Structures are given as structure tokens and as C-alpha cells.
Amino acid sequence: MIFSTTTDLLPHQPPAVAKLLPARVGGLFMDMGTGKSRVLLELARLRGHKWDRLYWFAPCSLKETVRQQIAIHTDIPPDQVAVWDDHVHSDRRPTQPVQIIGIETMSSSDRAVTAFAGMVTDQTFVAVDESAYIKGPMARRTQRITAMSERARYRAVLNGTPLTQGAVDLYSQMRFLSPKILGYRSFWSFAANHLEYEVRRDGFGRRVRTGRIIRSHNVEWLAAKIAPYVYQVRKDECLDLPEKLYADRFCTMTGQQRDLYERAKVELLLDLARHDWERLQILRLFSVLQTITCGFWRRLREDGTRELITVPHNRLSLLAGVLDEIPREDKVIIWSRYHHSTDEIVRMLAERDGEGSAVRYDGSLGDRARQQHLARWRQPGGPRHLVATMGVGGRGLTLNEAAYSVFYADSFRYEDRIQSEDRNHRIGQTRRPVYVTLRCGNSIDDRIAASRVRKASTLAEFQHMVDRYRSQGLRDRLHEMVMML
């Protein structure tokens, strides 16, 4: 497929392209924020006359992010990019030249597996994003993706680091690329040479292997074997990158969520008209729409009480996917805006990483409790996640213990956003901070992001447009503005 890229490569990216271009297989092991997707698209562009279809595997929570990256960096028309859903099967296969597939789908959907198996040819390019998802050699998705991709002309893996848990992580990623890289015909022969397992005595005094890996061997030899096929860079090595690194991650609304979102716009539009488009009502409009993108609405009843409406949403799973991209030894700040979201985040992290893996720092706690939580988080070996609201934690604190910040829901005010970023971008910070913003596509989040690029307040910009249209008597334009949010 012939296409063009629309953004320039950063200085550290051309060496990655130059290294991987001569080979048909390769790994991009680059830290979050250093542009793995942009490098892959450059490789695909330069090889465009040699492949007819690109299958881009990614965690289900990141499929929308991949689609957005393609739109940002290339001129590929949107109708030429397919995002697989539950309806794909062998009799209903997408025909677009670029197709984005959820990695987990290869475990859960036999129909999707059958469809993919019948589409791979010697003119196919297959890439696996966040390839740590296929590091388990016995996992069904690993075996299926690897086996079905063997016919592909080009294969690539993308991940922040090839070794999240030691040498064991290398085997499946390199086996996907080519069994010739490491030279082992099976995982067991690889393990026999490189992995040492814990051995204990059972009830009969026999020595048995527990399955827990306690040591890796000949790691230098492995590094030498993979070196010709991988490009690796850490963010602190990219001296010519901006001081701060930014990344956006996208999700889509569920059906119920979209219905509630559109219903809220109609209901609040009537309220805006009754109050003659007052600033407070515009703030309420923005807040309601943003809370719905987070899966809830505290709807104001006519009697003045509030009812909590909740709907299924994808933001939590998107957050989980982002946290998987960050090295587990790194602490993370998660900036929330609403107590309901904070509750959901803390519960999710407790279920995912265990009780005590996160502490909160918000208005639900007294000052003493907040300081205790903060002290626990700052301790080496303490909780990994600090879940804070911008209103309470966004000013005054120094949080240099974390290089990564995730904005679960962004602020309408640019000043609040910058103040929150500066909590871990202060004197004493020795690493390049990475700021990841979660966004729900086709929603209020798009307007907030656009204002952030302009370093402006979303609320102030919208109010300015309202005042202008009111002065011109263009009430219909005001209605259109709301319905386009």
C-alpha cells in the first residue's frame, strides 16, 4: 500500500528506521513517549510497494489509540483502516489495507482466529504492539498469533522493554519474529539453557520444580543474538526530545454511554436556554458530559436531589492498558477529577495489583490522612499508585518520586493542568516526565485537548464563542455548538 507520512521523525527515530529496514523482522523496544508507532509507520511507508495489508495487533484497550496514531501521522483515509470488533468472522472479513486487531481477541474468539488465519499471505505485514502481551509461551493468544503470522512477509514487535520479568520474556517475542534469531526449536530447549527454576522437596522427599524462575543464565549471549534485530532506546537517552514527553491514549464510548451522552446534551441545552447561557450553566454542561465519558452522571432531579446513573465504559480498561506500558518499578501519579472515578480507580487497582497498591489524595480525606497516604507512597517499596484530584493535589506538592503521570480526566482550565504537571517537574527531578492523557473519542475530551494544544482554557474559549453568537443574535449556532460537543 502506498501512502505518505504527515509528521517529521524526531532525531532519535531515523536510526531506528535505518536499523530495522534491511531485515524483514525487527523489534522496537522504545520507552513510552519516544514514538514507537511513528517508527513503525515509517517502516511500513518505505516498504509500501511490498505489502498489501498491515495487521496491527494491540491490546483491546489501545485499538482506538492506534487508529488515532495512524490518522495523526499518515494520509491514509479513515475508510481504509478497519478496527476489528466481535462481528468479524471467516464470512465477514474486513477488506481494508490496514486492520487493527485486539490481542486478547485471539484468545477469546475462535471466529476471529479463523478469519485472520485465512487472510495472512506472503504479502502481509504483521505488527504486535505492546508485545509483552504475547510473552507467555504457553498462552493461547501467543501461540495463535505466532503460528498464523509465520506466512507474513514482514513481522515487527513493539514494546517499552523486551525484559519485564527477565530473560523468559524474550523467547516468545523473538519466536514471533523468527525462530532463527535465538535458534531454539521449542521453549523447553530455551529454558534448559537460560532459565533456572526453584526446586523444593515434596511430601515424599522428592525434588520437584515449582515453576518459579529464580535466575536467568547466559543473558549476554541472548543480548548479542537479538542485537541485530532490535532497536532500543530509553527516554532519558533521547537528549534531543522535548523536556516533557506527552502521549494521548484513546477509547470509545459504549452504546449505553453514547445514548446517555446525547440525552444529556438535549436536556442541558434546554437548561442553558432557560438560564440565558450563564457561565455556571456552561460549566455544568461540560462537567456532566465529562462525567458521562467516565461512566456516570449525578443527574439533578427537579426536586433538587441527585440520582446516580452509571453506564458501562472503557476508561478503566484503557487506564489498565496504560499502566501495563509503564515499567512496574516506576511509581505513577493518576490525576482524577471526580470522587466517583477515584473510587473506581482505587477498586480496580486493588483487584488488579492487590490491596495497598494505591493510595488516594483527595477531598474525601482529612489533611492528616492525606499526609499519611502521601508518606506511604513516597517510601521505597510503598504503594505504586498515587490517585489524586487536581483540586486537592494539583498545587504545592513536590512529587518527583514519579516520572509518569496519567490524566484520567483532564481539566477545563489550562492552568490547572500545568500546575498538576509541575508537581513532578520540579528541581530535583532527574528523569524526563511522561504525561499520558486518557481521551474518549468524539466527546468533550476532544475540545479539551484542542484547547490544551493552544494553551487555553476550554471553558473560557467556549464562553467567548457564546458571547459572540449571543451578541449577533445567532441562537441557532449556540444550539449547534452544544450538539457538536
**Is 395 in a helix, a strand, or coil?**
coil
Looking at residue 165, its pLDDT comes to: 58
C-alpha cell at 90: 471467516
The region that residue 166 occupies, defined by phi over 0 for left and psi between -120 and 50 for alpha, beta otherwise, is left
Q: 455, 339, 337: which is closest to 407 by C-alpha? A: 337
Q: 116, 176, 173, 123: which is closest to 147 by C-alpha? A: 176
Residues 209 and 198: their CA atoms lie apart, in Å, by 6
Q: 386, 402, 408: which is closest to 317 by C-alpha? A: 408
Give the length of the chain.
Answer: 485
CB–CB of 95/65 below 8 Å?
no
Looking at residue 460, its pLDDT comes to: 85
Residues 24 and 19: their CA atoms lie apart, in Å, by 11
Kind and range of the H or E run holding 30: strand 25-30
Residues 396 and 349: their CA atoms lie apart, in Å, by 26
Looking at residue 164, its pLDDT comes to: 53
pLDDT tens, the chain, 485 aa long? 999 999 999 888 999 999 999 999 999 998 877 889 999 999 999 999 999 999 999 988 778 888 989 999 999 999 999 999 888 887 889 999 999 999 999 998 899 999 999 999 999 999 999 898 898 899 999 999 999 999 999 999 998 766 655 788 899 999 999 999 999 989 999 999 998 888 887 777 788 877 778 888 888 999 999 999 999 988 777 755 557 899 999 999 999 999 999 999 999 998 888 888 888 889 999 999 999 999 999 998 888 889 999 999 999 999 999 999 999 999 999 999 999 999 999 999 999 999 999 999 998 988 889 889 999 999 999 999 999 998 888 877 889 999 999 999 999 988 889 889 988 887 678 888 999 999 999 999 999 999 999 988 898 889 888 888 888 888 788 888 888 88
What dihedral do alpha carbons 219, 221, 227, 233 form, nearest 10°? 30
CA distances, 322 to each of 46, 143, 236 (Å): 29, 24, 19
**Is 247 in a helix, a strand, or coil?**
strand
Looking at residue 478, its pLDDT comes to: 85
Looking at residue 163, its pLDDT comes to: 62
Q: Please tell me the class of the 13-236 domain.
A: alpha beta
Q: How many CA atoms lie within 13 A of 275 on its CB side?
A: 13
Q: Where in the chain is the domain with CATH 3.40.50.300?
A: 242-485
Q: Please tell me the class of the 242-485 domain.
A: alpha beta
Looking at residue 42, its pLDDT comes to: 97
Largest CA distance in the chain: 89
Q: 432, 467, 437: which is closest to 452 by C-alpha? A: 437
Q: Where in the chain is the domain with CATH 3.40.50.10810?
A: 13-236
